[in-house]
């Protein structure tokens, strides 16, 4: 018999790309997860993964098993939702990308309350990879995350598109400039937003221009980053949607990367795109 935890371990390895990240996502040790996968493979009588020191890939049998595993997990989640569909059950479970400004989410929630004061929701924060896994497994109905990335795994809806800009203290010597060359920041102290999807592109942009700054702070908390910038600790790159007192947002010359933010819908939640609950309607309104 296949136990559900074995399916969860298998899907976690597929979604996270390796055993260590999958184990962390499942809140178990790597040996425990590996033992569960091995037990599943023994039951099925075939290896599911090709393992090497650098990567983990599905075997042919693993690829064939994947669709069935996702379907079983999805059906289990639907059964669980049906069994617990009492008054305390959220109307909508939605994942939120870490790098989307809290002010934008708060504005949408406020508009949701105006549309439907009784609306019940559950917000689940995560990285892009984590949210994709949550949607695939039915942990959330949909996710507000990066879209237009070239995949067709989920139904997508683009809400807005934005670029990136510097974030400087308002009293910085260059605060009055509309556009700043990277070379002008060679002596500056910087802050690293460790969860930023543009981190590698930003680093390459500065490195190619011979700029290798000192880093005073590394964080995944954007509100704290903004507070540290306003206090004069350093500067950083952020999506244009971020704004805060004491912080100015000049452009970085030659840095033209943009991102698309929107909703991805789980296979069993695509109807939400045409008959949206209050929060999805509010998210659409918040960017109108």
Output the DSSP codes for 192-204. EETT-TTHHHHHH
How open is the CA angle 112-275-99, to the nearest 5 degrees?
Answer: 50
For the chain, the distance separating the N- and C-terminal CA atoms, rounded to the nearest angstrom, is 51
Contact between residue 252 and residue 163 where contact means Cβ atoms under 8 Å apart: no
Phi, psi of 111 (to 5 degrees): -70, -35
> 167: closest CA among 217, 207, 106, 209?
217
Residue 230 contacts by C-beta under 8 Å, 6 or more apart in sequence? 169, 170, 244, 245, 246, 247
User: What pTM, to 2 d.p., does this model score?
Assistant: 0.69
Per-residue pLDDT of the chain (288 residues; tens, 9 = 90+): 888 889 889 998 998 888 888 888 888 888 999 999 999 999 999 999 988 766 788 999 999 999 888 888 888 877 766 665 544 545 799 999 999 999 999 999 999 999 999 899 999 999 999 999 999 989 999 999 999 888 778 899 999 999 999 999 999 999 999 999 999 999 999 999 999 999 999 999 999 999 998 999 999 999 999 999 999 999 999 999 999 999 999 999 999 999 999 999 998 899 999 999 999 999 998 876
Taking the C-alpha atoms of residue 164 and residue 111, their distance in angstroms, rounded to an integer, is 26
β-sheet bridge partners, residue 124 = 95
């Amino acid at each position: 018999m296949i136990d559900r935890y074995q399916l969860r371990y298998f899907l976690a390895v597929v979604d996270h790309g390796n055993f260590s990240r999958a184990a962390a996502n499942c809140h178990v040790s790597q040996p425990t997860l590996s033992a569960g996968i091995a037990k599943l493979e023994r039951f099925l009588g075939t290896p599911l993964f090709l393992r090497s020191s650098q990567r983990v890939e599905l075997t042919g049998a693993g690829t064939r098993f994947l669709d069935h595993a996702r379907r079983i997990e999805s059906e289990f989640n639907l059964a669980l939702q049906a069994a617990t569909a009492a008054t305390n059950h959220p109307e909508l479970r939605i994942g939120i990308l870490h790098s989307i400004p809290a002010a934008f989410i708060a504005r949408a929630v406020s508009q949701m309350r105006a549309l439907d004061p009784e609306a019940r929701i559950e917000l689940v924060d995560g990285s892009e990879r984590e949210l994709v896994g949550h949607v695939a497994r039915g942990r959330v109905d949909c996710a507000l995350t990066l879209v237009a990335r070239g995949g067709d795994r989920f139904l997508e809806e683009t809400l807005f598109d934005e670029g990136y800009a510097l974030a400087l203290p308002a009293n910085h010597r260059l605060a009055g400039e509309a556009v700043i060359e990277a070379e002008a920041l060679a002596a500056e102290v910087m802050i690293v937003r460790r969860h930023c999807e543009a981190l590698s592109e930003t680093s390459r942009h500065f490195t190619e221009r011979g700029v290798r700054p000192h880093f005073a702070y590394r964080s995944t908390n954007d509100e704290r980053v903004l507070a540290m910038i306003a206090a004069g600790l350093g500067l950083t790159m952020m999506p244009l949607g971020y704004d805060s007192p004491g912080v100015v947002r000049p452009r970085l010359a030659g840095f033209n990367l943009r991102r698309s933010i929107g909703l991805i819908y789980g296979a069993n939640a695509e109807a939400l795109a045409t008959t949206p609950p209050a929060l999805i309607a509010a998210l659409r309104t918040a960017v109108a």
